[in-house]
Amino acid sequence: DKGGHKHFMAKEIAEQPAVIGDTLRHYLSAAGGGLTLPQPEMDFTQYDRLTLVACGTAYYACLTAKYWFEQLAGLPVDVDIASEFRYREPPVPARTAAIFVSQSGETADTLAALRYCEGRAAKILSIVNVPESSIARESDLALPIHAGVEIGVASTKAFTCQLTVLLLMALKAASDREAIDPARLSDLLSHLRGLPSTINNTLELNEDFRKAAYQLSSAENALFLGRGMMYPLALEGALKLKEISYIHAEAYASGELKHGPIALIDEKMPVIVMAPRDALFDKTVSNMQEVMARGGKVMLITDAPGAAAASEDTWLTLTLPQVDPILSPILYAIPAQLLAYHTAVAKGTDVDQPRNLAKSVTVE
């Protein structure tokens, strides 16, 4: 049942305020803004290092979480693609917790990476959407993301719910390790509680994204740029666009632009820049100017202060609500999804069942 939407993907995008609200309700106690986690408790003072392993979109959730665990909790994080991790046979240092993120809980490479860590990691934690899955069953602790069934092959609501649980874990780690000021913690928790309504407001910009996507749909290639926590979101934006619209898209950390990809810039290469006005914004603006000076067309996705500060020479500027920079990866997933969705619709591709792809990759 597509609930009145044209595609499951559209329905699942629209469900995000509700399902993120559910995720938050499952993890946060109702009063006082305190954090409650499922039993058995995960005490992050017992670990000196985290290893996060996943595939595809779940891997980009892990890459985002690295910024959160490191910045908020001072906990070093290694992130790896499951198919690389399992065959590299990496050492797993003592006092390492291994975290596996998977919507289906059945991805063959992620499961094999988990089995490799059995007996090697101090703790095996999984973040899954399907609680009765193999990955959940074989973990010491499985945290459900409460996204509900996801049917579209392109992951949308599972990604934002994975991010929500990972951010809650990073906040739990920060609190366990006394790395965060309690006032800042409760501030972030109250921002998190407001996130479903901010996402709702962002979804109301649907028409702006549809128009932008229409312009994007004639491109053969696209480049996504982001800095800091927006870098994994750029990767996710490029993956979504490739998967369902078949436009060749790549993502780079903005600072890498002049180390190679700038050679690709011309008027036929749209560059999608994801940049809220955070501490790194000015650096991203100078990367944008490098693109525009070479005739590149910039689609800037930012907030109102970012739109005001950016140059007027962008091809398109899309303005999202302003949120605390820690929360922006979750919010900026929405434009990444809407752009890909509307581009695919404009091109007439099979949005829910893109060619050559399966929802769950249970073989290597």
Nearest residue (CB) to ligand M6R, 159 versus 281: 159
Shortest Å, Cβ 357 to ligand M6R: 6
Contact between 155 and ligand M6R per CB under 6 A: yes
Question: Of 14, 58, 222, 225, which lies in the binding site for ligand M6R, with binding defined by CB under 6 A?
Answer: 58
Which residues, other chains included, contact 196 with Cβ-Cβ below 8 Å and sequence gap of 6+? 16, 17, 18, 20, 21, 24
Q: How many residues belong to the site for ligand M6R (CB under 6 A)? A: 15
Q: Which of 200, 215, 217, 360 binds ligand M6R (CB under 6 A)?
A: 360
CA–CA dist 148, 3 (Å, integer): 14
Q: Assess 97 for contact with ligand M6R (CB under 6 A).
A: no
CA distance 60 to 274: 15
Residue 359 falls in the annotated catalytic set: yes
Helices (H), the chain: 8-14, 16-27, 56-73, 82-88, 108-117, 134-137, 157-176, 182-203, 206-216, 230-245, 281-293, 304-309, 328-347
The reply to whether 104 sits near ligand M6R by the rule CB under 6 A is yes
Residue 359 Cβ vs ligand M6R, minimum distance, rounded to whole Å: 7
Interaction residues for ligand M6R, span 223-282 (CB under 6 A): 243
Contact by Cβ (8 Å): 197, 251: no
Interface region with ligand M6R, contact rule CB under 6 A, candidates 18-26, 101-109, 221-229, 307-315: 101-109
Q: How many CB atoms lie within 10 A of CB 65?
A: 28
Q: State which residue, 35 or 158, has the beta carbon closest to ligand M6R.
A: 158
Residue from the set 52, 73, 121, 154 that interacts with ligand M6R by CB under 6 A:
154
Least distance from ligand M6R to the Cβ atom of residue 238, Å? 11
Shortest distance in whole angstroms from residue 153 CB to ligand M6R: 5
Which of 56, 276, 296, 306 lies at the binding interface for ligand M6R (CB under 6 A)?
56
- Catalytic choice (242, 283, 347, 359): 359
Nearer to ligand M6R, 103 or 160 (CB): 103
- What residues contact 363, with CB distance under 8 A and at least 6 apart? 108
Q: What SS3 state is found at 316? A: strand
C-alpha–C-alpha distance, residues 81 and 11, integer Å: 29
Return the number of the residue (58 or 269) whose C-beta is nearest ligand M6R.
Answer: 58
Distance of closest approach, residue 27 Cβ to ligand M6R, in angstroms: 19
**Rounded to 5°, angle at Cα 175 from 173 and 180:** 110
Please identify which residue in 14, 28, 53, 55 interacts with ligand M6R, judged by CB under 6 A: 55
Instruction: Please report which helix (H) or strand (E) contains residue 299, including its range.
Output: strand 297-303
> How far is Cα 92 from Cα 69, in angstroms, rounded to an integer?
18
Question: Does residue number 103 form part of the binding site for ligand M6R (CB under 6 A)?
Answer: yes
Position closest to ligand M6R via CB:
56
Distance CA 252, CA 230 (A): 10
Cα distance between residue 123 and residue 40, in whole Å:
12
Q: Could you give the residue numbers annotated as active site?
A: 359
Residues at the interface with ligand M6R (CB under 6 A): 55-58, 102-104, 107, 110, 153-155, 243, 360-361
